[in-house]
Amino acid sequence: MADSAPFAPPAGAAELEDGTALTPKFDAEGLVTAVATDAKSGDVLMVAHMNAQALAKTIATGEAWYYSRSRRALWRKGETSGHTQRVVEMRIDCDQDAVWIKVEQIAGACHTGRRSCFYRAVPLGTAEGDVRGAKLEFRDARVFDPKAAYGKGSSHS
């Protein structure tokens, strides 16, 4: 469970959507969803989560911080690999449970070595009953060697 003390609790729906107060709506695990896009290309690089502390650190430092659900730990993007994200702009959505950051990404965002985590396309037009057999199509090659960047065992950092 995250410490949400840095932020005030959400007010009613009207203030949440039409107000200027930053009152993030953290979920039961204390998290908001965070989408990082490439400030130049607009491509979605990754989808992750922030707890209150990660959100506060991202705002304060202009570098992307996240919360790893699997490792249950605050995580500065690039702390192991050096593949940091400088935040150019942060937006928050209507009900304040998701943030969008436009970032300058060093090397690649994905722990598999790609620029973006979304390196495979899902073909469209497959009949609803046949989607089980849909074949993903690789679109992006690796831009770095994950073994060299992370050593072994680490992921998403």
Instruction: Give the binding site for a second copy (CB under 8 A).
Output: 6-8, 17-22, 33, 35, 37, 41-44, 46-47, 55-57, 59-60, 62, 87, 89-94, 98-100, 110-112, 114, 116-129, 131-132, 134-139
86 three-class SS: strand
Residue 41 Cβ vs a second copy, minimum distance, rounded to whole Å: 7
CB nearer a second copy, residue 73 or residue 121: 121
Name residues whose C-beta falls within 8 Å of residue 12's C-beta, 6 or more positions apart in sequence: none
CB nearer a second copy, residue 29 or residue 148: 29
Residue 135 Cβ vs a second copy, minimum distance, rounded to whole Å: 5
Residue 129 Cβ vs a second copy, minimum distance, rounded to whole Å: 7
Residue 112 Cβ vs a second copy, minimum distance, rounded to whole Å: 5
Side-chain-side CA neighbours of 136 within 13 Å: the count stands at 7
Q: Do residues 7 and 24 lie in contact, with contact meaning Cβ atoms separated by under 8 Å?
A: yes
Residue 106 Cβ vs a second copy, minimum distance, rounded to whole Å: 18
CB nearer a second copy, residue 6 or residue 30: 6
How does strand 85-92 pair with strand 98-105?
antiparallel
CA distances from 145 to 82, 98, 112, 141 (A): 13, 31, 8, 11
CB nearer a second copy, residue 41 or residue 82: 41
Rounded distance between C-alpha atoms, residue 71 and residue 48, angstroms: 13
64 three-class SS: coil
CB nearer a second copy, residue 135 or residue 147: 135
